Amino acid sequence: MLYIVPTPIGNLKDITYRAVEVLKTVSLILAEDTRTSKKLMTAYAIETPLKSFHAHNEHSNLGHITDLLASGQDIALISDAGTPGISDPGFLLSRACQDQGIKITCLPGATALIPAIVASGIPCDKFFFEGFLPHKKGRQTRLKQLSSLEETFVLYESPHRLLKCLHQLMEHCGEDRTACVCRELTKLHEEIKQDNLKELIYHFESKDKVKGEIVIVVKGVK
C-alpha cells in the first residue's frame, strides 16, 4: 500500500493521530527533503527510515519504489509541508501505482489552500486553483485568462516575488479587485490581509521583508 500523508504546513501540532500511526508503522517514508522531515520525525518519535523523493529524482526512483510496493511493503509519501501532489511531488508515483494496480490511500490533512480561501472572506463556494504561475513564458497569458474568471482563483507564490505578482494582478484585474494575501499560515506570525490590490501593494511595500510561503486569493469578476 502507498500511503499519501499530509504533514503540517507550519505548526507541528497540525497532524492527525492516524498520520503519526501510519508514519510509525510503514516500512519506508519517502520525503521531499529528509532534513526538513527529520524535525517532524523527532517531534513524534518516528523512527521509520527516510528516503529522498523529490522533483529532481522521482523519475529515476519510480521503478524501484513501485517494485518495493509490489513486493508487499507499505510506504508513506510526504512532502516538506502540506499534501503531496498539490504543487509538490506525488503525481508520478500515484499514477504509476494506479497503472500497476497498487493500492493507494490518501489521508486527509493539512494544506495551505483551504485555510487561506476560507479565511479570506472572499466567496469560496466555487474557486479555481492555479497554484504557481509560470515564472516567464506564458505568465502574462495565464494572468489574462485568470483575470476573466467569474470564480475566485487561488495562487501560490514565494515571498520574494509577492510584490511583482501583486503588480501584475493589478495590471490585469484592476486596482479595485478584492484579494487576500495569506502568509505564515498556522505559524506565530500568521498574516491574513484582505483589501483591494492597490492597497495590498501599499501594505506589503511598507514592510522591510516579507517572509513565509504565500497564498493569494483573488475574487472573480462577478
The DSSP annotation for 40-52 comes to HHHHTT----EEE
Cell of 15: 497532524
Same domain, 99 and 139: no
Order of strands, sheet of 178-183, starting from the edge strand that comes earlier in the sequence: 127-132, 152-157, 214-218, 178-183, 191-196
Question: Are both 120 and 211 inside the same structural domain?
Answer: yes
Mean pLDDT of the chain: 96
Is pLDDT at 124 greater than 90 in this prediction? yes
Identify whether residues 181 and 94 lie together within a single domain. Answer: no
> Which pTM does this prediction carry?
0.92
Q: What is the rounded average pLDDT of the residues 39-50?
A: 98
Q: Could you tell me the residue range of the domain that residue 49 belongs to?
A: 2-106
Domain boundary among 57, 84, 106: 106
Q: Do 87 and 122 have their domain in common?
A: no
| % of residues, the chain, pLDDT over 90 | 93
Grid coordinates representing 136? Answer: 516567464
In a shared domain, residues 136 and 71: no
pLDDT (0 to 100) of residue 88:
87
